Structure 1
Amino acid sequence: MPVVALLCYSGFTGLCLAMDRHYRDLTGRALQARVGLFLRVGGALLLAAALAVAVQADGGWSMGLVHWCAGLMGSAMLLVFLLPYRPRLALGLAAAGLPLAPLLGLAL
């Protein structure tokens, strides 16, 4: 389910950017405490939204949790492979995933 994968990827990217090292590598600036809190809360909310979408779309907790875990694993692996080699692409994919997720949800 692409909506769950996009939400998971954007959530993991938010959690990743909440770490001072990754934020500094991608933006060139030091992470402020307020921005870090916003990124942590936003990342956690995106992961929770992905869980809600997966459970709702698959008709229950049994298959919804399976699809959510698959989305978590796939998006985390993509982020882990993109971050060291193409950090700007990793950030751009997360930024593009936020508006695309609701549009895909409406289309499907």
Structure 2
Amino acid sequence: MLLATVLCYLGFTGLCLSMTRHYGELLHSKLSNARARALRVTGWLALVLSLCVAVSATGWGPGLVQWCAALMASALVLILLIPYRPRMVLTLSAAGVVLGPVLALGQWMG
């Protein structure tokens, strides 16, 4: 379930960064159209992958419920961090990128 939550957070962060306003606030640079498209696609792919992870771990019924909980929790964390701790958004994303493969390997092995 932790892997699905990390993927949801990464997906929402990608979608957030695909918007010009948030990209400028968090990265202090201008967003190009190609980068916005890449961030949007990556964000949606991470959200779809998180659904696949949640459903494969526990089945369709509980997996969908757990995925909805992971969506809400990760969106709430992101929404609270953007105005109050914007640097923490990128720090948690970097931690998620590093932690994601470790969690995936742990879920695959166990």
The alignment's TM-score, normalised by the length of structure 1, stands at: 0.94
Give the structure 2 partner of residue 66 of structure 1.
Answer: 65
Shift of 1:104: 1.6
1:62-83 CA deviation, whole Å, 9 max, x = no partner?
Answer: 1111111000000000000011
Shift of 1:23: 0.2
Unaligned residue ranges in structure 1 (runs of 5+) = none
Give the structure 1 partner of residue 23 of structure 2.
Answer: 23
Unaligned residue ranges in structure 2 (runs of 5+) = none
Work out whether 1:35 is the aligned partner of 2:42: no
Shift of 1:61: 1.0
Q: What do you get for the CA RMSD once the two structures are aligned?
A: 0.9
SS of 2:102's equivalent?
helix
1:19-63 CA deviation, whole Å, 9 max, x = no partner?
Answer: 0000001111111000000000000000000000000011x2111
Identity, % of aligned positions: 52
Give the structure 2 partner of residue 84 of structure 1.
Answer: 83
- Partner Cα separation in structure 2 for residue 94 and residue 72 of structure 1: 15
Shift of 1:107: 2.3
Give the structure 2 partner of residue 54 of structure 1.
Answer: 54
- Partner Cα separation in structure 2 for residue 22 and residue 2 of structure 1: 26
Tell me which of the two structures has the higher relative contact order, counting C-alpha pairs closer than 8 angstroms and 6 or more residues apart: 1
| AA aligned opposite 2:97 | L
The alignment's TM-score, normalised by the length of structure 2, stands at: 0.93
- Partner Cα separation in structure 2 for residue 105 and residue 97 of structure 1: 11
